[in-house]
A and B are shown apart, each in its own frame.
Chain A
Amino acid sequence: MPCARTRSRPRHADHDDRELLLSTIATITQFAASGEDGGFHPPSISEFFPTAIFFEDTIFEFNRIMLVRVVAAVVLIWLFVLAARRAKLVPGRGQNIAEMALDFVRVQIADEILGHNARKYLPMLTTIFFAILAFNITGVIPFLNIAGTSLFGLPVLLALWVYVVYLGSGMKKFGLVGFLKVSLFPAGVPWFLYVLITPIEILQVFVFRPVTLALRLTANMIAGHLLLVLCFSATNFFFVEATGALKAMGVVSLAAGFGFTLFEMLVAGLQAYVFTLLAAVYISMSIEEEH
């Protein structure tokens, strides 16, 4: 905790402290003892724009969320490199876990959706799944306490990657005209319905798919973070500021915070799965003859 405090500037100390509350109940009493100004602080979107640590106002600006991302990436890479280094023909316990995780993407997503085309796209899907999972799960890890994917840049990049790959694969397979024909004029539909369907398909293929991919992920993570901050910030308020019977409400908000923490773990895995699954589905739609 002290290291986190040195990272943030005094102006924003209250935000960071609020986040740190997620980690442990013990911090609550500590927070009270530190003698901050009273009152209930509702969560706000400035949570997602912490002050810079290095290179403020440049393109290299490095703040708390970037640090969380780097930490998550380093841990993820370290775990998998370790697993790969020690990988043997007869797996040990750690290797079994790594293989199960990799198999989940390979079998449940890639093979399931893409079939015989799966192998070509497997590295991409694996990267997407584990990157999102790692950046999502930081939202409930003490001291990190914010999802790396709750800032729009990362989901946008991932969605763009998927976008480029599914458009590129489709065009490579059918040619530009062929791909547009297959995607925008689905076979087996009476020609006059194309007036309705084609504009919708254009929006689908070129706008909605990537935008919804990125938005769904970011919105989920932002909402999850705000919910957690709300619960724990309210718990702090009830325990420290409130008097009498209201103090008991702290138990309720604390329980809610605990429940939402578990829920966020579920959401972290679910959103990674959904994003990767949809990426596979979009690629499959681009390269399959029939929709």
Chain B
Amino acid sequence: MNEKERLQEERKLLLQEVEALLSMIAAPVLVIDQNGAILHVNTLAEQAWRRSQITLTNKQIAELIDQEDILTYLKQGKPTKNLPVQIKDSTGGHHPYRCRLHPLFVNQKVAGAVLQLMKQEPIPEQGADRRYRVRYTFHDIRGSSEVLTSLLAEAEKVAKSDSTILVRGESGTGKEVLAQAIHHASLRSDGPFLALNCAAIPESLLESELFGYEEGAFTGAKKGGKMGRFELARGGTLFLDEVGDMPLHLQAKLLRVLQERRIERVGGSGSIPIDVRVIAATHKDLEAMIARQKFREDLYYRLNVIPLVMPPLRERKADLYDLIHYFMKKFSVRLDKEIKRFSSQALQCLYDYHWPGNVRELENVAEYIMNLEIGELVTVTSLPAYMRNAPARGAEPDFPVIKRTEVPETTYLNFDEAEKKLLFEALKRFGMSTEGKRKAAEALGISVSTLYRKLQRIRRENKLSR
């Protein structure tokens, strides 16, 4: 073998060594020449920039790393240990790293450098921010029933807009979970999520909680004043739970805030611009409240820009099996106990029950069952007593149930009586909730407002007849 061949082989071996060494380093590595052109990269670098080594070696360091000083260090042959840099990946994303630069010299001249990148520790969030992160995303809302999946699809669609959403649903259906999920999927997900339960706060404090107060606004007011939820939620989302419980005078104020996008602190003189997306929720029948003049119609229209309805559990019984087992699994881990099975009758009992407390009640029942020392099979007698004597069944479950249907009886009634009977049949079938009334109206072939009028009239008649 002549000298040339020997050198060639030596070079091949060195290349193999370099490739092996690069592959062993548990961080992205770049080898560059004295002008900043990329010579070699390792697999982790390929992953960090989401490009293959072939494309990376066609580039200059300035295209890959956002840091003005790098070229200076390179040309001066100056090593660094912890230079903060931002890398620019192929999708345009920027990621923070710390860079270690090791210069390469040949005959006392700078010939290039080796750069090793270490992950930058994420900047610890300010105390305030951490308190306002959400816990739930759309993935946490479980269920595959049609009514739920279509709701979630709609919610995901509207999440990205800034429009106000009004979530309707019975208590325990997970309205706040939905609100958090919407916030998480929105363009405001980096911002804070604040919740306020209008029913839980005494009326006198509600205003200052919402809009904040200035110093000296009332006895005991904090020095320097205090920001209200609208201000704290700047750049994020504000969730107003139980908005139906808001007193009328505050409803007026809220309406103005939503119209002008400005708030006035209690005891304050100036107005402050706000930047929030509002999600409101209620289990109350707002239309009926409007009819009784307990809720402002104009505020209703402001809030009801995008109406979403969380179905009650009885309308999504196809999810029941999955949900109860999900909660049982959760508690089995927490209590370090084995999961239990249900007897056929116990399952039937769960299905027949009308779940007024919805998913929250279901979770409680799961916890109750897991806590019992009853062995691994749950029978009807193990279930809470009130569930065993289930009242009339609610809406039809989603899956085909094999059972006999009942034949309705016909009676001779006058027109009004017949109308009343039809109305109540429909309401019994679809439920007395807002959504139920809407469905009933649809089934009866009348408008919702007509339905309300007829109901109001019936109530008036009942009152008079007493």
To the question of whether A and B form a pair in one complex, the answer is no
Chain B interface (Cβ < 8 Å from any Cβ of A): none
Chain A interface (Cβ < 8 Å from any Cβ of B): none
